[in-house]
Amino acid sequence: MLDLTLGIDLRTRDQLLKLTDQSHALELTPQNQMSKIYAATQLEKKYKAAGEDAIETVEQKRADARKLVDSLSKAVQNKKRKQESEQDEEQVSKEELIKLCKHLPFNGSLETPKSSKIKSFFLFGFGEKLAEYQVRDYFEDIVGEKKVEAVTLNHRGKFGFVEFSSREAAERAAECLQNSVPHPKLVAVAGEPLRLCWAGKTTTPSFSTTEIAQVRTIVKRQMIKYATKEQKKSSGSEAQSPVTKRSKIESTTSSKYTSLRTDLEV
């Protein structure tokens, strides 16, 4: 059994309390006022008889015990997060992927949608530290006024939505972002990288716990896919054009010919 306050098992908790001379906390405390006063007086006499050195020793033990409890609590939390992360890495079939992607526009862009009712952006790929108010501030700074109506972030699934108060405000935000790629744009909000595009529907879809874990897996795949695609495009643009290659070859051939002619001259 666990102590829900400390996040450690009861046996470890009891040993820590004994280590810090707080074993009395495990016993029944006095119920009436007179008994409480008597117990407090006896405890005070005990500390006075032991002297200040004993008090300092007890305080040091308590400080060490607190550090130990903190480290144990962190270890339990880290183990829990690791287990959740391992559960997220489950296999997603093609059928499940297609079903989930129908509700989430992973292949969307910032090109103005035909439906005038859509006034939301779809976000995905952000981390656990990103807060809703940071997303709100980011888009309100872009638009220039408070036009963000709602922000919904699902940190477990790594996706969310930003709804504007009007279609005009949403279009203004899309124009300010100046997206030139036909897929979700990569931006950094409060230091957290994420991708965004127009939402595919006017309503926010709801998912079960299992589906959210599957969406998280899809988000990871999509982030890798778009990063790889943009990297290849960047590498391709840096490659030399055919005209440049041809002029370079002609220049090399000409220099070789001149060099040979010079060597053959008497």
* Banded model confidence at residue 249, pLDDT cuts 50, 70, 90: very low
User: For the chain, how many residues are written?
Assistant: 266
More confident residue, 86 or 217: 217
Q: Evaluate if residue 2 carries a pLDDT over 60.
A: no
CB 262 within 8 A of CB 146: no
Cα–Cα distance list, 56 to 50, 127, 140, 190, 194 (Å): 11, 44, 54, 45, 51
What is the per-residue pLDDT across 205-247, written as a single tens digit (0 to 9) for each?
Answer: 788 888 888 889 889 999 999 999 888 888 776 665 554 444 4
How much is the pTM? 0.55
Go through the domains of the chain in sequence order and give each one's CATH number.
2-88 (no CATH), 97-237 (3.30.70.330)
More confident residue, 56 or 30: 56
Cα–Cα distance list, 264 to 31, 78, 171, 257, 261 (Å): 116, 77, 71, 11, 5
What is the per-residue pLDDT across 208-219, written as a single tens digit (0 to 9) for each?
Answer: 888 888 889 889
Across the range 251-259, mean pLDDT stands at 40
DSSP 75-95: HHHHHHHHHHHHHHT----HH
pLDDT at 29: 52
C-alpha count within 13 angstroms, C-beta hemisphere, residue 221: 15
Q: Evaluate if residue 181 carries a pLDDT over 50.
A: yes
